[in-house]
């Protein structure tokens, strides 16, 4: 039986405390203000189906204000920074039809961390930048965006 604790910016009652005492994964990557495919939920379902025990930091909000206030943005950004730092694994998914500028920034920030896995296909507009950065810093680069493959790669990194 899988034990997964999902932590989102909206529902972070533990203040980042890991109640499961298990490994943690941050689901970084394309969100596009909530307009992109919800790949995060699909990966979480696969982790549950695989019976993994972990904490999942999911920055995607169920209800996101498309015109956030400065305070809302600062709260979101700080939450993401804190949980990216504390995660054992960062799974970054860059969807083909997105620009994902914040994700690319985060990729650069965590390139040397040894906890990053990147999922990106050659259709992504900056694929060569992503590929060469992954090569330079020995970051696993997976070119298949299937949720089961993503979940299995996360587990293998834990």
CA separation for the pair 36, 119 (Å, rounded): 15
Give me the CATH number covering residue 95.
3.40.50.450
- If one counts the domains in the chain, the total is 1
Q: What pLDDT sits at residue 113?
A: 97
Q: What pLDDT sits at residue 99?
A: 94
Mean pLDDT for back-to-back runs of 10 residues, the chain (158 residues): 82 60 91 82 93 93 83 91 95 95 96 97 97 98 94 92
CA separation for the pair 37, 48 (Å, rounded): 19
CA separation for the pair 17, 103 (Å, rounded): 24
Owning domain of residue 143: 3-157
Q: How many CA within 13 A on the CB side of residue 111?
A: 16
Q: What pLDDT sits at residue 61?
A: 84
Whether the full predicted model's pTM is greater than 0.95, yes or no, is no
């Amino acid at each position: 039986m899988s034990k997964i604790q999902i932590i989102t910016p909206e529902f972070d009652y533990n203040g980042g405390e890991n109640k499961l005492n298990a490994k943690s994964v941050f689901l970084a990557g394309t969100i596009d203000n909530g307009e992109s495919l919800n790949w995060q939920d699909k990966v979480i379902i696969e982790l549950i189906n695989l019976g993994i025990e972990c904490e999942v930091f999911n920055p995607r909000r169920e209800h996101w204000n498309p015109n956030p206030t400065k305070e809302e943005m600062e709260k979101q950004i700080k939450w993401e920074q804190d949980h990216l730092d504390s995660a054992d694994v960062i799974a970054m998914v860059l969807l083909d039809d997105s620009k994902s500028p914040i994700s690319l920034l985060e990729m650069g920030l965590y390139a040397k961390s040894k906890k990053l896995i990147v999922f990106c296909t050659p259709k992504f507009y900056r694929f060569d930048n992503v590929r060469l950065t992954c090569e330079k810093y020995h970051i696993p680069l997976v070119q298949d965006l299937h949720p089961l493959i993503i979940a299995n790669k996360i587990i293998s990194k834990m």
